[in-house]
Structures are given as structure tokens and as C-alpha cells.
Structure 1
């Protein structure tokens, strides 16, 4: 009987943990919302370390044919179904930020298929996640969501080899996901 109670208790704990990780806010998303997650990519821990933030990846919500997607820069700029994007993050956690409290329409076609920018440089026809959002809001709505700052202003101690391999300059300006929050 004691083993049975233990199994039931563990099952209840597992269900509670699963329920916590399941996003409950997908109906609250609107086009133009920014969405942040803890990515499971290999570079995520480096971004978290450098920015002192748990949020390492971001995108912007767009609507296409009545369904919600995340426009993101990951390998290439693409649309990912919202639920799939959330599920892909660590523990299914995400954070939403609404910039404008009015309906917006994101013009995203010109970004689709653009390559990911491993060097995190502005204005080179490649995009990293937070740069994509920054550019969209600046170009389409005239809103500068953050002030780009030099890479060296982040916690980059110990990342010199990685930065050199990627062709990054400590003085180049960037916008990190945490800056958009």
C-alpha cells in the first residue's frame, strides 16, 4: 500500500510539473508581440552569461491565414508556429512583451530566408534574433526598442576565442534579447 501511495504521489507531482511547463497564454498573443525564451541552442549559455539574463532567444508574433507564428532568426529567418516555438524552448518557458496596444501588421516577407548572423553585426543582410526585431520596429513603426551598445559592455570575459572565431569586434554595437525587454 505504501508503494502505491508513493507512485500516486510521484504521478501527481509529474502532472503538476507538466502543467506548469505548458503555456497557458497562447490565446493572449497578438501580432507584433515580442516573445522571449531560453533557447536550447549551443550558443544560449554564452548569451545568458554575457547578458546576465535567462532569455537567450526572441522573435515577433505574426499572423498568417488566421494562425499565429513567430518570425525568428534561427539558421535563417523563418516563420515557426507559435506552439512549436514555445515547446522548443527550455522547459517550454516564454515571456511576452507587448510594445503597442493597437493592432499592428508586421511586414515580414522581405526578411524570410535571410541567413543567421553568427557575428552579430548590423547592416550586413544577415540577422540575429534581437536585431531582426529591432530593425522591424525601427523601420516599420519608427520605434527604437533599445540603444545598441558595444559588445564589450556585456560580460564577455572568457569569450575572446569564440568572438574572434566569429569575426566579432568588442567595439561593434549589438542589441541583445534582454535589451529588448
Structure 2
């Protein structure tokens, strides 16, 4: 009898925490929020090592008809339901950040421009080579450009490929597979870590 009561009590706690987690996935998230996770893709470990970060993937949140989506550059660039996006990441953990003074800066008109610009990238191929052109797009490039060309905001300074840790063996192997001996060291890039560390955003949710 005692054990049954204990299990019942623990079950109530588990259900309560689970409900709170699901609730946190939706309440208070707004258009333009930026979401980060550790993806489980083949290149994830290399990105983390090269950028000295636990994050290897990011996207931007858009809310449509009461449902929250992550607009992300995968293959291809697309809108993904938030719960599906979360389930793809490592252990379902993620962080959401928001532009400081977003309520003032990200007006309805600005958000419409951001979304309109972002949709010009929809269905484009994922950019495995991290080039700065718009022909193909990678995750942090998509978010950075939506803010830059949709809201005229640079969330962070761009870097060059050579600025990252390219000496780690895991990183070197990925780079060699993709570029051979012609690594474009001066290519302009933006990494998820740069957006995460931007002084222009604040954390509004973190379950890491």
C-alpha cells in the first residue's frame, strides 16, 4: 500500500513536469525568437569543436494559426513544427533567445518583412560548403540574413572560416572530405555559436 502511494505520487510529479515542459515549448515564444540545439547530424560534432560551442544547429521561430514553427536550413530550407524540431535534437534539449527590446523593435511590419525575406529562401538546398551566397543556405546564415535584410539588424559580426578551430582532427577530416586541399579559408561565415553569444539577444528558455 505504501509503495503504491509512493508510485502514485511520483507519477503525479512526472505528469506535472511533463505538462510544464510542453507548456514551456509554446507559451511566451514569439515571432523572431531564435532557437538552438545540439543536432544529431554527421557534421554536428565538427561544428561544436570548430566553434567551441555545445550548439550545432539553430532556426528562427514563426507562429502561424496558433502553431509554432522553426524556420530552418536543413535539406531543404523549410518550416518545421516546434515539437518535431525539438525531438530531432540531442535529448530534446534546446535554448530560445530573443532580441532585446523585441516588442519595440520587431513590429508587425518588421516581422512581415523578415518572414517575407526568409520565404525567398524556402526550399533552397542546404549548403554543405558554408558559402556566403544565397544559392544554398546553412542554418545560422539563414537566421543572420533574415535579421539583416528583413529587419536591418546585424546580430553579430561575420567571421572568416580561418577564424575557427580547424586543427582538430574531427574538423580536419570533414574539411578534407568537402574541400580537398582547397579550403576557402577567407570565406565569410556565421556560426550558431556567434548568434548564441550575441550581446543583442537574451535567453528566455533553457532546458540544458
Counterparts of 1:42 and 1:83 in 2: how far apart (Å)? 22
How far does residue 19 in structure 1 lie from its aligned partner after superposition? 4.2
Equivalent residue number for residue 179 of structure 1: 194
CA 1:117 to 1:51, structure 2 compared with 1: closer, same or farther past 3 Å? same
Q: How far apart are the structure 2 equivalents of 1:166 and 1:22?
A: 39
Name whichever of 34-43 and 64-73 sits farther off. Answer: 64-73
Match of 2:98 in 1: 98
2:163 aligned partner? 153
In the TM superposition, residue 20 of structure 1 has moved relative to its aligned partner by 10
The Cα of 1:64 is off from its aligned counterpart by: 2.3
Q: Which runs of 5+ in 1 are unaligned?
A: none
Number of positions where the alignment pairs a residue of Structure 1 with one of Structure 2: 176
Cα–Cα, structure 1 residues 128 and 20, in superposed 2: closer, same or farther, change >3 Å? farther
> Which TM-score applies when normalising by structure 2?
0.74
Of 23-32 and 65-74, deviating more is 23-32
Deviations 1:71-129 (A, max 9, x none): 00011100000111112111111111111234433223211100000000101410000
Query: Partner of 2:64 in structure 1?
Result: 64
Unaligned 5+ segments in structure 2 are: 197-208
What residue in structure 2 maps to residue 27 of structure 1?
27
Q: Which has the higher helix share?
A: 2
Residue 162 in structure 1 maps to residue 177 in structure 2:
no
Match of 1:134 in 2: 144
Query: Which residue is 1:37 aligned to?
Result: 37
User: Is residue 143 of structure 1 aligned with residue 153 of structure 2?
Assistant: yes
Moved more, 100-109 or 71-80: 100-109
Q: Distance in 1 between matches of 2:25 and 2:68?
A: 13
Per mean C-alpha deviation after superposition, the further-off stretch among 103-112 and 65-74 is 103-112
